Structure 1
């Protein structure tokens, strides 16, 4: 395996971890107003399930994005030339969600909490949809010209395949979030999450299967049937386990589905990192094979990055595993204390 191939694989692993972990964060954010409708304690219980981990989960995106900039600068530069608006929407959504989560409990006022809930909702719905749109378009290919710039506009990204990809990540993250809430809560909150799982499961399974088959038939390779099969198996395990009240296995099933679907996308993309629909010769590839343009950095840069990754990635994995172990217990509304934030009048003064 060459160094560019190694870094393509590592970026795929980082984004897989991001979608598995941040996926249930998005799902919890989308479901919080549904489960907690009219009940502040339920809302806070749902939000507290991700309270200790949501910001740590975003580290996977920062690391994956940083690795892409350093290892494949041509990929990063060309991608932003055509996906600027879509990636900006994701960034704005993530910022709004972070501010809303951090500030929601600072002021004890229903109106303030309502606005924060809107921020959490928009900051969950928008990225959950936009990530699917973005990755589907990357796999499908874009109008990349000989100057390595993407032609066209944002509306061209809203093609049928990409829209199905966006709907896939939206529903799958929502189902994943419902599985996580059921795993992390008890009593009436867990009951509400299980009801949502029963409603979401069939439409999610249909959409995931349709997108996976379309991806495999249009862009996949022989071996990418394996992750597609694993994604289906994960959904079947999740559905059966949820029906039996086995919350841990149900959550593991949706995690497997998200991980397998991400492998399917990256596997279908390789050896390209950004295919051109204008001319195959204009495509960006991992290592410049078949006369195409290599998107990777110099050999020396990749060597230094590899040593840093070997030293630091295990530390991050151990720390995050420890965090999930410490906060592994279930939450109920009985654990939620009375609000302690400042009244709105004091906050204004």
Structure 2
């Protein structure tokens, strides 16, 4: 297997891990004003992701770094053409991180409400815009023969991309609700499980429409199989949530999220950014890649450090695996 293909697969894995892990804590943030009836319940919700949310974002940083080093042409075109939506995502993530740190610094209810709103905003914006961005990558964007983006911001707000944004938002809401049900006790657990069933139905409809549209644009046998399995996993996850089996429900929504991302990359390969203007402008794993020597060095680094990072993050989730409830939150 060529190193360009290896690094395409590794970037796929990194974005898959990011969407699975960051997906549920985006969902928790979006549901903060919905499920959190008082400050103690909102603190419970925040505490379910408190030990892990910043570690989840490392997957995005690593994916971006890998893209920059392995496929610099892809990185440059993506970040110049998608500058505004990516900037909005960055601002939202910064605001969200600050809100987690500052919310508890003062006791006033008004102070906490403002930071709660910041957490919600910082969760909704990335959940929506990541779907828009990845849908545009798969659909193709106007690139000229020099691989430079020739469109504007509103070119990115096409119906297919907006459907992609709604799909990721609904999927993360469901994933987050299931995670809250899995990690909490008492009344909030039951309300989260019930809500996951309702948002899950919407996610099934949106995801089904989006994946069908995706396969009508670009399809490979692998992408078709992955899309079907992703849809089945989501349906099974929602059914498990309805039955009160939170562990199986979370497994289903995690698989659905991950397989949906893999489906997009499978439909894209061997392209990394198709051009809708000129076939010569399409970026592929070959014409967007770094030199073979660079890829070889990066591969050795990845082989050494990737297992260490995975082991550390797995240990973190194991340590903070127990359920929490309002009884654990002091007045």
Q: Aligned-pair distance for 1:211?
A: 0.4
Flag the structure with larger Rg.
1
TM-score with structure 1 setting the length: 0.94
The C-alpha deviation readout for 1:227-282, integer Å capped at 9, x for no partner, is 11111121121122112211000000000000110011001111111100011111
Give SS of 2:144's match: coil
* 1:123-272 matches, cutoff 5 A: 123-272=122-271
Q: Distance in 1 between matches of 2:201 and 2:18?
A: 25
Aligned match of 1:81: 80
Aligned match of 2:45: 46
Q: Aligned-pair distance for 1:131?
A: 0.1
**Ranges of 4+ aligned residues in structure 1 off by more than 6 Å:** none
Aligned match of 1:342: none
Q: Distance in 2 between matches of 1:94 and 1:198?
A: 28
Structure 2: gaps (5+ residues): none
Aligned match of 1:96: 95
Aligned match of 1:3: 3
1:311 to 293, 298, 304: 304
Aligned match of 1:14: 14
Q: Distance in 2 between matches of 1:220 and 1:103?
A: 46
Q: Aligned-pair distance for 1:201?
A: 1.8
RMSD: 0.8
Give yes or no for contact 1:129–1:169 (8 Å, CA) kept in 2: yes
Give yes or no for contact 1:220–1:264 (8 Å, CA) kept in 2: no
Aligned match of 1:344: none
Give SS of 1:150's match: coil
Q: Distance in 1 between matches of 2:235 and 2:170?
A: 16
TM-score with structure 2 setting the length: 0.99
Aligned match of 1:280: 279
Q: Distance in 2 between matches of 1:148 and 1:283?
A: 7
Aligned match of 1:336: 329
Aligned match of 2:27: 27
Q: Aligned-pair distance for 1:127?
A: 0.1
Structure 1: gaps (5+ residues): 288-293, 339-349
Give yes or no for contact 2:26–2:123 (8 Å, CA) kept in 1: yes
Give yes or no for contact 2:24–2:173 (8 Å, CA) kept in 1: yes
